[in-house]
A = this chain, B = another copy of it.
Amino acid sequence: MVTDIDTSDFGPQSGRPRSDRAVFDAIADPTRRAILDGLSGRSRPAGEIAADFAISRPAVSKHLRALEGAGLVRVTKEGRRRMYEIDAEPLREVDRWMQRYRTMWAAKLVAIKQHVESRASLASSTSPESSAGSSGAAEQVGDGGTPTGAS
Contact = CB atoms under 8 A, between A and B. Distances in A.
B146 A2 contact: no
Nearest to A107: B88
Interface in A66-88: 76, 78, 81, 83, 85-88
A98 B94 contact: yes
Interface residues of A, number: 60
A54 interface: yes
Nearest to A15: B139
Given A28-B25, A98-B94, A52 B143 contact: no
> Considering the complex of A and B, which 8 residue pairs feature the smallest CB-CB distances, nearest first?
A28-B28, A88-B101, A88-B104, A5-B30, A24-B28, A91-B101, A3-B52, A6-B30
Interface of A: 1-6, 8, 20-21, 24-25, 27-31, 33-34, 36-37, 39-45, 51-54, 76, 78, 81, 83, 85-89, 91-92, 94-95, 97-98, 100-102, 104-105, 108, 142-144, 146-150
